[in-house]
Structure 1
Amino acid sequence: MVLWGTLVNTFAIILGGILGLALPRLSQGIKSTVMQGLGLAVSVQGLMMAFKTSNLLIVIGSLVIGGVLGELLQVERGLEKLGSQLERLVGSRAKGKVAVGFVTTTLIYCVGAMAILGSIDSGVRLNHDMLYTKSMLDGFSAIIFASTMGVGVLFSSLPVLVYQGAIALSATLITSFISPGMLDAITAEVTSVGGILIIGIGLNILEIKKINVANLLPSVVIAALLVPLISYFS
């Protein structure tokens, strides 16, 4: 089943989020320290991904074009509005808490290399091993995120289901049009751009600088389009 890995990943986030909400109330000091540790770990993950590129110009061009598109489309504002609607739905007394948890964890779970590569592997070879591994990581991190950010973390499972499911289904069609070498090249640049976005998420978690990471999400699509385009003209 093409979507099996994605379904397991979605369930892991929900289960981890529920366990996180069930944990005893943590002190503000513990929450702050844990979030700082997560922010540092997320930043390191982003750095490791960012160095996967073999053409920095593609990465830069993708970020510039994608950033302009994201600002025009107001992707970040759209996610925040969705988070606010979820907040009203669950009746959260902590204004903004659901939206922050939803947006932050949605970006972390969707932008990573494993989300892209694992979904492609599920669609192309029906191999869900990478998404199984991602499910374990996401499930454990959801426990921590939910215990510090609240119920918004659970709702991030919905974008994961749609996003990874769409990639897996699309991969079953894409492989009939492009070569394995081109697929590897696209994956490398998409991973690099995604890594830079994850660094931005880490900076947001650490509260060093507010970066509109969601508005840069179109950069991932632009990177996937630029690789075959440049290859064709060169």
Structure 2
Amino acid sequence: MPTGPFINAAAIIGGAVAGATLGGKLPERVRANLPTLFGLLSVGLAFITIPKVANYAPVSLAAVIGTALGEWIGIENGFAKLAAAARTFADKLIPAKDGMPAETFIENYVSLVILFGFSGMGIFGAMHEGMTGEPSILYIKAILDVFTAAIFAISLGVMVAFIAVPQMLVQCTLFFLASLVIPLATPEMRADFAACGGLIMLATGLRIMGIKPFPVANMLPALVLVMPLSHFWTVYIA
């Protein structure tokens, strides 16, 4: 049962409702500084998962090849085009919040859909729970998302709560797909998968904090490559 995706969705809904109703009372300095803290928490989670690596060489190889593949495919550019297309469609469905231009509202809203539904932590967390039954990563994401949703709902309104629907669909799909891998995965493969996800969460945290704009979306193919590479490394090299 995919516990993490449901908890994560509930966090977004709760945060959005709280932000839309009570967010105006939150000091501006708190709104400005919380995202930096979220990035730091993502970095801290990476430091927990990376040291559990079984073989760092295949993890490194997966990260390099996966990122190169993502750059070649243009995953982040694809997200940008998707956002532009969705903005045009959403402009016909979602009215602008009072005091905010419609174009700004749609742009922020679509960007938030991508942030919640297709983040490296969410994708890795759903796959990790599907393979191990451990939802802790999505629990941590839920803690971050409840505050993020609240902050954005101050300006975008309760419509932020509806983002929980596509996010839950994405995470549940990844959960069930990853569960099919369990009979084929060794403990070493799972450890290397977790370490690879840790690298992506580290990149995500540094990007949120504005330290380095890593192409996090382009790094996601590494999660597909790392387990086969880990198996090959363990059987034929290590």
Band of TM-score, shorter chain: 0.7 to 0.9
Paired residues in the alignment total 218
How far, CA to CA, are the matches of 2:67 and 2:141 in structure 1?
Answer: 27
Offset of residue 216 of structure 1? 0.6
Cα distance between partner residues in 1 of 2:236 and 2:65: 19
Instruction: Give the equivalent residue in structure 2 for 1:49.
Output: 49
Is the aligned partner of 1:220 residue 2:233? no
Deviations 1:98-156 (A, max 9, x none): 344333333154244x433322245xxxxxxx33x556544432221113345668536
**In structure 2, what residue type is equivalent to 1:102?**
V
Q: Distance in 1 between matches of 2:182 and 2:221?
A: 22
1:184 maps to a residue whose letter is: P
Distance (Å, rounded) in 2 between the aligned partners of 1:111 and 1:73 = 18
Inter-CA distance 27–77: structure 2 relative to 1 (3 Å threshold): farther
Contact 1:108/1:198 (CA < 8 Å) preserved in 2? yes
RMSD of aligned C-alpha atoms? Answer: 2.9
d(CA) in 2 for partners of 1:156, 1:34: 21
Task: Pick from 127, 132, 135 the counterpart of residue 116 of structure 1.
Answer: 127
Counterpart position of 2:170: 162
Residue identity over aligned pairs, in percent, reads 20
d(CA) in 2 for partners of 1:69, 1:54: 24
Q: TM-score, normalised by structure 2?
A: 0.76
Q: Is the 1:20–1:143 contact (alpha carbons within 8 Å) kept by the matching residues of 2?
A: no
- How far the C-alpha of 1:222 sits from its partner, in A, is 0.8
Deviation, structure 1 residue 13: 4.2
Partner of 1:174: 181
Matched, 1:15 2:13: yes
Amino acid corresponding to residue 188 of structure 1 in structure 2: A
Structure 1: runs of 5 or more not aligned = 123-129
TM, length-normalised to structure 1: 0.77
Q: Is the 8 A contact 2:122 2:141 kept in 1?
A: no
Q: Which segments of 5 or more consecutive residues in structure 2 lack a partner in the other structure?
A: 97-101, 154-158
Aligned counterparts of 1:141 and 1:154: Cα–Cα separation in 2: 17
Q: Map Cα deviations across residues 148-198 of structure 1 (whole Å, 9 max, x no partner).
A: 345668536524433443342452x4344x2xxx43222111111111111
Structure 1 or 2, whichever has the larger Rg, is 2
Aligned residue in 2 for 1:202:
205
Name 1:30's counterpart in structure 2. 30
Q: Write the letter of the residue equivalent to 2:195.
A: S
Does the 8 Å contact 2:4/2:139 carry over to 1? no
